[in-house]
Structure 1
Amino acid sequence: MTPLVQLRQATKRFPNGRGGLHTAIRDVDLDIGAGEFVAVVGPTGCGKSTTLSLISGLQPPSAGTVTVGGDQVQGIPGGVGYMFQSDAMLPWRSVLANVAAGPVWRGLGKDEARRRARDWIARVGLDGFENYYMHQLSGGMRKRVALAQTLVNEPSILLMDEPFSALDVQTRALMQQELLRLWAGSGAAVVFVTHDLEEAIVLADRVVVMTASPARVKATFDVRLTRPREVEDLRTTTGFIEIYREIWSSLSAEVDIARKGQTRAA
């Protein structure tokens, strides 16, 4: 079967502000199937988020190809949902209005958009908070709104760029569990960028390790842990510890390379 998402020799360069070019990612090959949860890890600043930008169509590749559903990406593909590290919500709108906005922009009638929004607000555990505003919500509640805002459009591809990194440890674990619950059975492919290797393992079917900048795919690891998963319980199992050690042996070398590069630059 043709992968839902496919990158071939994907390269992205940006102006570096000094008249030259900075290569963020180079010759990236990556396949992602429908319904697959793939986590991408690598050193800080290596280009993980750039990979999401290419898949989403927000940035075109400088070289190579990116295809979604067998078609080369030229603009934002249909069926893509993007959850950023920072909230992408309008503070002057209520929870209900923020979640309903996507379906309305896609041409759905206002009443149906609000019906779907109420359904997803309830699914993420915020029933009764429809008329609240963003400043009235905790960080974890805002992330639940962001999940509803993204999933209400029923994306076939869900791109997530460190969505839980700003949360405290307990709230983060709750949101990881909530994401697994909402994703299960959806058939959506997830590409999840994170700095947290534990988070990558508890969530993903595969973990992709990127090299220090410019990022390339160094290695891919299958996470053979049964689903459904209990996030907190999983971290203490022998299987989790073994896969963590295996991936860290690959990732740590790239983290060291990046750290030494930053020291020289300083």
Structure 2
Amino acid sequence: MSPPLIELIGATKRFPSGTGSVHTAVSDLTLAVRPGEFVAVVGPTGCGKSTTLSLVSGLQPPSAGQVRVHGRPVESIPDGVGYMFQTDAVMPWRSVLDNVASGPRFRGVPKAEAREQAADWISRVGLAGFEKYYPHQLSGGMRKRVALAQTLVTSPRILLMDEPFSALDVQTRALMQDELLRLWSGTGAAVIFVTHDLEEAVALADRVVVLTASPATVKDVFDVGLPRPRRVEELRLTEEFLAIYREVWESLRTEVEKSRAGGRTDVA
């Protein structure tokens, strides 16, 4: 097996609270993700899922433990990381083409070449013909396609995705899930995908990681032995999918109940 591309080794993150005390968001978190692996992370609301992504991305340093990417400690934003947030990061004053080209341009790619790369990815996400449109002229699903092209145009080796499709309607969400799997397949990129939707986690991932109620640590890891390529809507109707879903939910359910009983929903 190839060595891990992403490693969290006993990682802990503490934040000062508004009362002058210290809040522990994640505690003793250990997780490894290899190249080409799609890992979904689920857990109760407020348990620290987004904090986990912040540690991997270098946006937050760990308070204790280690975070490694490419075998090296994360001390700043690592090279080759693409981050897709719940709220898309498209720039309203730029066209679709210039939004997608902004990543290559930031990395020093000449303007003409950056626009050529952007046009290719705009076509890949199904928006050919919309290059000159502005974000306010697009539907929510189309904006997500722009955000996906923005993320993938730089050929990241690591994809960090924080509930990227949660704001979409059910039909559009399923289409975007299929698009993500199609575009990711064969890239060799490692994916950490945070979601509240357990169906989404099982349908997309190679492994589903269940985090405990806050402070989060890894409770269980489930292998998803469903064949690829996958069609999300068709997959959800199979007995194999339902069996894995039930197994993961049994683990997650007790943590959700603990979280509700504790009333902790203040930390992402």
Q: Same fold (TM over 0.5)?
A: yes
Name 1:172's counterpart in structure 2: 173
Name 1:238's counterpart in structure 2: 239
Name 2:48's counterpart in structure 1: 47
Name 2:120's counterpart in structure 1: 119
Q: Which string of whole-angstrom CA distances, capped at 9 and with x for unpartnered residues, describes residues 140-166 of structure 1? A: 000000000000000000000000000
After TM superposition, list the pairs within 5 Å mapping 1:1-266 onto structure 2. 1-262=2-263
Distance 1:57 1:3 in 2: 17
Displacement of 1:2 after TM fit? 2.3
**How many positions carry a matched residue from both structures?**
265
Displacement of 1:87 after TM fit? 1.0
> Which amino acid letter does the alignment assign opposite residue 14 of structure 1?
F
> Which amino acid letter does the alignment assign opposite residue 140 of structure 2?
G
Displacement of 1:187 after TM fit? 0.5
4+ long deviations beyond 2 Å: none
Displacement of 1:223 after TM fit? 0.1
Distance 1:40 1:17 in 2: 28
Distance 1:22 1:55 in 2: 20
Q: Which string of whole-angstrom CA distances, capped at 9 and with x for unpartnered residues, describes residues 148-196 of structure 1? A: 0000000000000000000000000000000000000010000000000
> Which amino acid letter does the alignment assign opposite residue 117 of structure 2?
R
Any gaps of 5 or more consecutive residues in structure 2? none
Distance 1:116 1:42 in 2: 37
* Identity in percent: 71
- Secondary structure (helix, strand or coil) at the match of 1:8 reads strand
Distance 2:116 2:174 in 1: 29
Distance 1:147 1:2 in 2: 27
Q: Which string of whole-angstrom CA distances, capped at 9 and with x for unpartnered residues, describes residues 229-253 of structure 1? A: 0110000101000000000000000
